Structures are given as structure tokens and as C-alpha cells.
Structure 1
Amino acid sequence: MDGSDPWARFEEWRRALDSLFDCAPVEETPAAFHGELVGYQLDPVLLGASRASAQRFHRDEARIAAAGVDHLLIQLYQSGRCAFDADGHAAEGRAGDIVCFDLSRPMTSVTSDLETVSLVVPRQMLRLAPRALDGLHGAVLDGGSAMGRLLSDHLRSLLSVAPGMNAADSRLVCEATAGLLSAGLASAAGASAVPEILIAPNVQAVQRFIEMNLTNFDLSAEMVMKRFGLSRSALYRLFEPLGGVAEYIRQRRLSRAALRIGSVGRGRGAVARLAHLSGFASEAAFTRAFRSRYGIAPRAVLQDPQGAGGWHGGRGPAVDDWLHAWMAGLSAAVR
């Protein structure tokens, strides 16, 4: 990053990251600010490495609404530390730790001078139960744990080979990375929870298919049966513990709507837009289902999210294309 004016250097950095975060220097005058970032596209994963001075990061509902991405940001802190609040869940990542942020939800953080390796990963790529994915915002994988060391080594190796990787290698490596990330993030939720979070292959395949098609109005039990060659009775047995496949689809759509409710704005048509993004064919059907599950109309939450009594954002306990263009331009912007 060139230029002798510290504010000019920081402004260059801030503009480069503006699509994802609002940045501010920790010091009143960033006299010695530096920032370096390089990125690689390994479809469908984005890989980046950065080194920067201490600063504050903020991702609010306006930035979430501007992009509407459904990705996870997974960061290995190679040096430094980061204290953060992930939508009400406060924690800290230290050198060696791996932290996961859900880019569909707000967060703030304050870092020291920090060096990171980062992955931006589509949510549906991870082999985790949907309820586990929804609870990963702010999850910290201890860098001293076995899974932490293994995943850290993998991320560093991935960064070293990325410049020379071809498209075929990239697809294979991303598949392997998805499996390792899934195991590592399951471990971050607690060793006792891992057997319940990682799913059996047959259930996993169907659930991943459902997750990838939640916004498809044609998604139904019949569509799942045709895709996997299952009889109605076999599909029923598979999803009986979850209340049946139709109910499972409805609940997943409602959960996604709850997590994305801050991304559609508050103006005219916001409820209809949220219904459409969540896979509901009509605003009326969506409103009825949302009220039935959460005890409040979606319009009330959109108009006053803080004052909506009884609203907890549909979350459990505390625990796209534009991204490709953004990442591709980062190296030139902030070297």
C-alpha cells in the first residue's frame, strides 16, 4: 500500500473492505497504518490472506441487506487477537485460533495488529446439520486442540498451493476442505455435541439438497423422492424424527427467514421480498407460518426489531457472485 499520508493509506484499505465491513482505526491517528491482502478464487470457495494494523470492524444490517449473501467467513489468526461480538455472542480469538462468522448476521470486532488466513464458504457446502450451521456465528476453534492444529495446517498449506492450482484441482481440494471444516466446526461446538451435529450420509445428502433448494418453490417431498429414488415410505422413515419432510422444509425456510430478516429493509414490499427469498410462494402463507412459529407477524419485526416483544431472531443459544468480483479486485486495491 503506497502513500505517505496515514489517513490516505487507511482510506484505501477501508474502501477495499467496504463491501463486507465498516473499518475504523483503533488509534485516533493511524500514523503507522499498514494493510496487505491477497485473494484467490477456488470455486466455490474464496481464499484470502491479510496482514493489517489494529482496527475496529463493524458489519450491520445495511451491509447485510446490500449483498444478501449466505456465506460463512472462517478466519485463522496467525498472529494477534480479535475481541468480537457476534450478534450478541461475545468472545475472543487469539493467535492460532480459528473463528467462524456468519455473513448473514451482524458483528463487531476490535483487533490488535493481526495476520489472518480466511475462507469465504457457501453455507450449504459444509456437511453439518442445519441447526448446527445456524449456531456457528462466533464459534471459536481452539488453536491448541487436535482439530485446531490440523485445520490450521490445512489452511496454511491451501494458501501455499493456491497460486498454482488449476480448476480441476480446485474442485477436489474444496471438497476435501469442506469435510475438514465441517469436522473442525463441529468440534468447536464441543466434543460431546459432535456425534449429534455431523449427520449420517443418507440424511446428510437429503438435507444438503433441501438447503440448496429452499428458495425453489417446487421443493417438495415429491421432488426429494425423485431426486434420490426414494419411496414415500422410505422418505417418511428418514424424516419421521424431524416431523416429516414437508414440516422439515417449512421449518428450515422459517429459520432462514428469521436469520435474514435484517437483510430486506423496512420499506414497502419487505415482507413479500422476505417470503420470496425464503421460498414461500405467497406473502400470506409466509406470514401465517411465521406467526405460528414465532408468535409475531414478520411485519412487526421488520418495523421495530428491537421492540418486537418475544422476538429472539429465531436463534438458538448464543454460541454470489459479487463476492468473486470483490475478492478478485482486492489484491490490486490494497497491496
Structure 2
Amino acid sequence: MALRFTCARRFVSFNTTIRLRGVKNAPSVTPGIYTAIPILVAWHDAMAITLDWHALCHAPRLRSREARMHEARQRFPDAVFATSLVEPGMRATAYRRWLRPIAMVEACNDAPVSASIITYRLGQITLAQSTSSPVHYLRDEDTIEKGRFGECLLLRLLIKGSVHGWFGDAKVDIKEGDIYLSDLAQTSEVWLEGDCAHINVMMRRADLGDITVHGRVLHGEWLPCRMLREHLLNFIDILRHCDADNVKEMTKATMELLRFCLRTDDVNNKDTGYFLDEARERIVTYIDEHLSESDLGALRLQREFAVSRSQLYRHFAELGGVQHYIRNKRLQAVLRDLCNEPHRSITDIIERYGFTTERQFQRAFRARFGMTASQVRADWKSKAMSDICEVIEN
């Protein structure tokens, strides 16, 4: 199977093809490189060559018709970078060149740079997963002037490690689970401490209106931030299996959740204390601990916390109501277990989280994620996805 690559080095551009194993008359390739994987090769000065993923959906396969149809439904990244696929001596240079339009990058110690970026362009936003060893990012006025992202904002969810830095004149410290934002029209300087992993969302500044975001940190223990964090984690988990309509709805939900977080964070900064209410935090903790119990609901919470129905409603009004919140938490837990416990039956997982009937569950799950639990389980266990995950992890 011939796959098209594109590469541009200064003023020179060209196309080339490679052939992969599993295809008639194809020569052998480097061990560990399989069909449908991100590929990065060093070309003289470690210029990245990016795979044209669309070829994967249309190229001939020596597989069954069902397998080809299944694989065609997979959503592959638009761009991939990984230092593990670059010659060791060229890794730092390759990473600097990859991120040059956004920031200058330097290692924080003498250890080799280790990093990966998987990017999906989704219309209104660009979504990316990234990992990195300790590095220093600098976005100065020269980088802003030469780059093309001056009209964009960058949201980063820190899922591993810790970060500190300066956004303009403001010093910030970010811990695991926090979400921080930067305006790419303004200067920033950030240090990653230890091995870090992020989920990143780039968007147009105009989509958030006149809300000030540069250096804003949404703390991980804050409930709206937890909602946005879980949404982003779920978005990444199911993105490869979503059709265009599902992606559009998930993107819309991402922006709405972010606006909600920023609005309510502004309320907190005015010392209203609404979302810092200790009673509501205790209720949320209780819900997390009792998700598997079928009688968990508004009546039980009223008894446990001695609050009226109207008080309970006010606590969760901005989140769609307490029943809506509990249902979404259960659906997210089911989605996580479908992926993390492939040997456990779907029926067992449904019963674990208190759904009384399978029909009720399937209707709610499909409405939330745009596919059935069986589709999620089948897609997650697919060979193509296993190959991609194995190579990325290695």
C-alpha cells in the first residue's frame, strides 16, 4: 500500500511514497513500524515528514470487507510528532522546529528531550495530546510577530506532572488536574517539571468574546473544572470513533463548558463563594463514592444532607440539575470501564453503576456519546487501534 508523505525544507517541497508490510510485493520495513501508525523520519536536519492519514481510509487491504469498513470509520490524527521516531542526536532540534511557530523550546537539564504530540483539527478547535520531559517554553514578542497564532487562545489540561511560569507579569503554579489558559498574542514563559502530559485545545480568541484568559488557572478541585476535565478526557477517548456530527456536538459542548467555567470563575473572584460552597462539595464527594447504588438520587441526598429540594436544586442548577449530574457521572464511569476492563461484560458494568434497565442505559449512553456501549467496546479492541497505541507508547 503506497502512502503519500509531504515534506517542505526551506523553499524545497516534494512528494514521496513508501510501502508497508501486509501488502503484495511490498518490501520489508523497519521493525515496529506497522500499518496505520504515526510516522516521523529525520531528513537531513530532522525536518518532520507527516503522514497523510486520509490514504488509510481508501487504500486497498488484504483483510475482510468488514475489517476494511470498520477501519475506515476510525478517525486518525491530522499530524503526529514523536521524538522516539527521530535519530537520538536530532531529537531536540526536531522538537524545536515542530514547536517554533508557538514557542522556543529548551531542555531543562542535560537529559535527552522526550516528547510526543498527536493533533486533531476539528473545525472550530484543534485538539491535541502531548507529553514532554522537563523543558522550558518561551513565547516572546519576536515569536508572536513571526508566528501565525496571534489570534488564538490555548487551553491546557495538565494530566501528569507540574508546571510553573509567567504569563505577562503574573506568576502561576499549576498542579496535576488544573487547567490553564494563555492568549497567544501575549508573552509567556513556562517550565515543565518532571515528565508532563497535557490535553490541549487551541481556539480562536473571538469565540470567547472579551473574556480575559491570559494566565487564568482553573483549579482541579473546583467542580466546574472537574466537569471540563472529565469532558476533555472523554472527548479524547471516543474521538477516533466519532462521525462528523458527533465531533461537531462535542466541540460545541467543549466551548460551552469552557465559557461556563470562565463565567463562574469570575463570580468566584467577586467573592460570592457560590461554587466554593462546602456543603455542595460534600454532596459531590458523596455522589462520587456512591455511584454504584441504584437509589442514589435527589431524595436520598435530601435525607443525607438535611437540605430541601429547592436548596439541592440551587446547588446543581448550573449543572443541569442533580439527576442530570448523577447520570452523566455514571455514564462517564461506564465509558471508562468499557475501555479499561475489556474482559468484563457490558451487563456487569451497567449493573455496577446502578442503571435499572439496559434499555434505559443504552438510550442515555447513545445520547451522551453518540454511539452504543457495544460499539465503543468493539472499536476500543480493534486491531488498528491496538497497533497505534502500541507504537505511540513505545
Q: What TM-score bracket applies, with the shorter chain setting the length? A: 0.5 to 0.7
8 Å contact kept, 1:43–1:170:
no
CA distance in 1, matches of 2:162, 2:199: 13
In the alignment, does 2:122 pair up with 1:42? yes
Note closer, same or farther for the CA distance 1:17–1:93 as it changes in structure 2 (3 Å cut). Answer: same
Cα 1:9/1:192, change in 2 over 3 Å: closer
1:83 aligns with 2:164: yes
Secondary structure of 1:144's counterpart equals coil
1:96 equivalent among 168, 177, 181: 177
Q: Residue 84 of structure 2 aligns to a residue in which SS?
A: coil
**Distance between the aligned counterparts of 1:181 and 1:108, measured in 2?**
23
Per-residue deviation, residues 149-206 of structure 1 (Å, max 9, x unmatched): 11110110111122223322222222111110011123344525499xxxxxxxxxxx
In structure 2, distance between residues paired with 1:103 and 1:93: 18
TM normalised by structure 1 equals: 0.53
- Amino acid corresponding to residue 134 of structure 2 in structure 1: A
Equivalent residue for 1:169? 246
The answer as to whether partners of 1:139 and 1:189 remain within 8 angstroms in 2 is no
Residue 142 of structure 2 is aligned with which of 47, 62, 65? 62
The residue number in structure 1 matching 2:95 is 13
Report which structure shows greater RCO (CA 8 Å, sep ≥6): 1
Task: Give distance in 1, aligned partners of 2:161 and 2:247.
Answer: 30
| In 2: Cα distance, 1:53 partner to 1:159 partner | 21
Aligned to 2:190: 109
Distance in 1, Cα, partners of 2:249 & 2:151: 22
Which amino acid is 2:166 matched to?
D
The amino acid that maps onto 1:170 is: V
Unaligned runs of 5+ in 2: 1-82, 273-393
Please give the alpha-carbon distance, in whole angstroms, between the structure 1 residues aligned to 2:220 and 2:176: 8
1:50-89 deviations in Å (ceiling 9; x for gaps): 1110000001112212225311100000011111110111
Q: What amino acid does structure 2 have at the position aligned with 1:43?
A: G
User: Is residue 227 of structure 2 the alignment partner of residue 146 of structure 1?
Assistant: no
How many Å separate the matches in 2 of 1:20 and 1:142?
25
TM-score (norm 2): 0.45
- Whether the 8 Å CA contact 2:115–2:131 is kept in 1: the answer is yes
Q: Quick one: which amino acid aligns to residue 196 of structure 2?
A: L
Per-residue Cα deviation, 1:104-137 (whole angstroms, up to 9, x for no partner): 11100111121000100112223x5x1xx2x210
Cα offset, 1:21, TM superposition = 0.7
Instruction: After TM superposition, list the pairs within 5 Å mapping 1:1-335 onto structure 2.
Output: 1-2=83-84, 6-27=88-109, 29-31=110-112, 33-66=113-146, 67=148, 69-112=150-193, 113-126=195-208, 130=210, 133=211, 135-193=212-270
Distance in 2, Cα, partners of 1:51 & 1:17: 13
Q: When you count helix as a share of all residues, which structure comes out higher?
A: 1
> Which whole-Å CA distance do the structure 2 matches of 1:25 and 1:57 have between them?
9
Q: What's the CA shift for 1:5?
A: 6.1
Verify the 8 A CA contact 2:181 2:217 in the aligned structure 1: yes
Q: Which amino acid aligns with 2:132?
A: A
Cα deviation for residue 39 of structure 1 reads 0.8
Identity of matched residues, %? 22
The structure with more radius of gyration? 2
- CA distance in 2 between counterparts of 1:6 and 1:193 reads 51
Once the two structures are TM-superposed, the CA of residue 101 in structure 1 deviates from its matched residue by: 0.6
**Aligned-partner residue type, residue 42 of structure 1:** L
Query: Match of 2:205, as an amino acid?
Result: R
- The 8 Å contact of residues 40 and 163 in structure 1, kept in 2 or not, is answered as no
